[in-house]
Amino acid sequence: MSPWEIGRFALLGLLANKIRTALTMLGVLIGVGAVILLVAVGNGSSKSVQASIENLGTNLITVSHTAGGGRFGAAGRGSDLKDLTLDDAKALADPAQAPHVKSAAPVQSTSASVVYAAQSTTVNSVVGTTPDWFPTTNHQIARGVALSAADVDNARKVVVLGSTTVENAFGPEDPIDKQVLISGIPFRVVGVLATKGGGAQDTDDTVVMPVSTLRASLAGYGSLSQIAVQATSAADTDEAQAEITAVLNSRHKITSSAQTDYRIVNQESLLSANDETNRTFTVLLGAVAAISLLVGGIGITNIMLVTVAERTREIGIRKAIGAPRGAILGQFLAESTLLSVIGGALGVAAGLCAARFTVVGIEPVVVPSSVVAAFGVSVALGLFFGGYPAARAAALRPIEALRHE
Amino acid sequence: MSAPAPVVQVRGLTKEYGRGDAAVQALRGVDLTVAAGDFVAVMGSSGSGKSTLMNILGCLDTPTSGRYLLDGLDVGGLDEHQLSLVRNRRIGFVFQSFNLIPRTTALANVELPLAYAGVRARERRRRALAALDLVGLSERLHHRPNELSGGQQQRVAVARALVTAPAMLLADEPTGNLDSRSTAEILDIVSRLNASGRTVVVITHEDEVAARAKRVVRLVDGLVAEDRRQDAPWAVTA
Ligand SMILES: Nc1ncnc2c1ncn2[C@@H]1O[C@H](COP(=O)(O)OP(=O)(O)OP(=O)(O)O)[C@@H](O)[C@H]1O
Ligand SMILES: [Mg+2]
């Protein structure tokens, strides 16, 4: 028998029982499609977190004040611990002391209620800072103006709002030059930040005001929460970090690392840490998908076993009229190959299609190797589990196969 | 005129099913010779070993011991592939339960042995049509088994058995599931085939069927108890 003829028999065999064929293909389809989609979702979420971190700027360095644990660890040194101050921020911005620092801005944050037209929302990120903050942290102004040096010098009661805060407090109304009450104190809105989007928490729900105003009216005169620093380029972050350490150590009179009262985090390290968590996430999703593929595979196996059991009599008839073993094996192998290849191809198509939609807020990004792996595994499963029972049946004596119940 | 060479030569054939206490001796040493062109009816009570013998003659099963020469060829020495060739070319087997491939048309069923023999599609079609014409089913070529009556299914099975022009036609109670009219039709076909020179061995319980045969072999408890030639008044002359 020619291979063409064996293929024709296989096709006829599949068409002879359309529902069984369709169900088996559906099993393969779902398994393959799930692997492709889930891996794409995992990959997509990792990509989106990465993008939102990059959005903040990869040359952004954050110096934060060590509170609580730091003080506790340094208990033996009594009150030696220095605050992060506005002067620290100025010193870091000085090109003579830190040539690889492009800009630096003090950040003091608190949370407060924002009230407009009797509508109150709570904003957790109320930031007091200087005009340098906008370029340092890559924030653009969408409407109105940013804070000015004069605003800071005169501790004016002006604010720039994040886009989410505007939406929450004003709705569609134009907020520029409107009065809002922040913790009961009237402020004038001068500007709105451009939407950044992304990230686990909404960075667009924020209020920015002069640091002097914040300290005078809302938060008091303790240590700064952070100093935001921008290195001259992403490649210079290591040098910038070294310079920051040198400047702060000398200003805070720190001689050993045990005395350190601040912490430096750069986006690069955040990025790679995030990368790791996301890889774990993707692997987990992939494992779930692999299990669904396995279950799909068991489905194929089951149907193939049932098919062969059901068709053992048919194999007996074929042997009785002189079918050589190779022809029978060839037919069943071709059937299961056709099943799993067509089912797998449909699964790839379904997976790729589904990956074009947003799934639970994540834009899936297809990983090509997952497509190849899912397709390959489904074809291999189909071949093995279609071939093995058929080989067993074809090895029977015709009369045994014919008597099979 | 010298006697034609025997198609079947069986010596000391035994078949045992199962082991130990549960063992059943279905055949206990059968000797049988069937000459070319003969028409043998195998009779005997239920459980006497008729089907067992027939399955061995059709190379569907293997004996526990004994020799079986088919056209002078020792079947015991053949490998799996050679056996499939023997089943395909030399033997046509008809079952009591028809055993057509389900969901497959009459024509495709009859073409199947030719496909396994490697006959080309056009030649295959021609011979299958001729075989179906011989059994009077030219009108039902594209019907599936479940769209045919029992008698029609058995005629398809006969067409499938004879389409490769085997030397020997074996039939295990071919009319066991049929009414008297269908039985007569099948018997006419078989008689005609025998008249045209084909060797026929048929198992039956029915005297009406045995009456067509030239020779009746009776099995009792796995042994040949009677072997008698008879005139074949119903035989059709070609
Ligand atoms: N596969 C088997 N396993 C075990 N015993 C079997 C098997 N096939 C047949 N037998 C036994 O072998 C004996 C002969 O069976 P066989 O089918 O040859 O009888 P038979 O003459 O064809 O009977 P019937 O006229 O009822 O068809 C019986 O006792 C039967 O029980
Ligand atoms: Mg029987």
- pLDDT tens for residues A298-320? 776 777 677 767 778 888 999 99
**In the prediction, which pLDDT does B233 show?**
57
pLDDT reading at B235 higher than 70: no
**In the prediction, which pLDDT does A77 show?**
46
User: A254 pLDDT band (50/70/90 cuts)?
Assistant: confident
Q: Quote the tokens at residue A342.
A: 């067509």
CA distance B20 to A63: 88
**In the prediction, which pLDDT does A75 show?**
43
The answer to whether the Cβ–Cβ distance between B81 and A321 falls below 8 Å is no
Q: Quote the tokens at residue A26.
A: 């559906």
* Residues of chain A found within 8 Å of residue B128, distances taken between Cβ atoms: none
Domain membership of residue B47 (yes or no) is yes
pLDDT reading at B131 higher than 90: yes
Q: Per residue in B56-72, pLDDT tens?
A: 999 999 999 999 999 98
Domain membership of residue B1 (yes or no) is no
**In the prediction, which pLDDT does A68 show?**
47
* Mean residue pLDDT across chain B: 91
What ipTM did this prediction achieve? 0.93
pTM: 0.69
- The whole-angstrom distance between A30's CA and the closest CA on chain B is 29
* Three-state DSSP class for residue A265: strand
Q: Per residue in B87-100, pLDDT tens?
A: 999 999 999 999 99
Domain membership of residue B161 (yes or no) is yes
Cα B203 to averaged position of ligand 2 atoms, centre (Å): 8
The answer to whether the Cβ–Cβ distance between A16 and B103 falls below 8 Å is yes
Q: Per residue in B154-171, pLDDT tens?
A: 999 999 999 999 989 999
Residues A148 and A126: beta-carbon distance below 8 Å: no
A394 or B217: which leads in pLDDT: B217
B215 or A310: which leads in pLDDT: B215
- The whole-angstrom distance between A405's CA and the closest CA on chain B is 14
User: A201 pLDDT band (50/70/90 cuts)?
Assistant: low
**In the prediction, which pLDDT does A199 show?**
54
Domain membership of residue B148 (yes or no) is yes
- In this structure, of A74-88, A101-115, A190-204, B155-169, the range with the lowest mean pLDDT score is A74-88
Mean pLDDT across the stretch B104-117? 94
The residue whose C-alpha atom lies closest to atom 25 belonging to ligand 1 is B46
* Residues of chain B found within 8 Å of residue A318, distances taken between Cβ atoms: 101, 112, 116
The answer to whether the Cβ–Cβ distance between A16 and B89 falls below 8 Å is no
- Give the residue from B84, B99, B156 with the most A CB atoms within 10 Å of its CB, the best one to mutate: B84
Which range of A22-36, A112-126, A252-266, B35-49 scores highest in mean pLDDT? It is B35-49
Cα A209 to averaged position of ligand 1 atoms, centre (Å): 99
- Give the residue from A321, A325, A399 with the most B CB atoms within 10 Å of its CB, the best one to mutate: A321
- Nearest CB to B160: which of A17, A319, A321? A321
**In the prediction, which pLDDT does A55 show?**
67
- DSSP sequence for A69-136: HHHHHTGGGGGGPPPP-HHHHHHHH-TTT-TTEEEEEEEEEEEEEEEETTEEEEEEEEEEE-TTHHHH
CA distance B132 to B153: 11
- Give the residue from B61, B97, B101 with the most A CB atoms within 10 Å of its CB, the best one to mutate: B101
Among chain B residues, the shortest Cα distance to A395 is held by B80
Closest C-alpha to B196, from B151, B235, B156: B235
Residues B144 and B68: beta-carbon distance below 8 Å: no
User: A200 pLDDT band (50/70/90 cuts)?
Assistant: low
* Residues of chain A found within 8 Å of residue B56, distances taken between Cβ atoms: none
CA distance B184 to B186: 6
Q: Is B57 in the pocket of ligand 1 (CB under 6 A)?
A: no
Structural domain of B150: 36-64+79-229
**In the prediction, which pLDDT does B164 show?**
94
Q: Per residue in A57-72, pLDDT tens?
A: 677 888 888 764 444 4
CATH number assigned to the domain comprising residue B209 = 3.40.50.300
Q: Quote the tokens at residue A211.
A: 């640091």
pLDDT reading at A253 higher than 50: yes
Tally of domains within chain B: 1
Spans of all domains in chain A: 3-52+273-403, 67-260
Question: Residue type at A60?
Answer: L
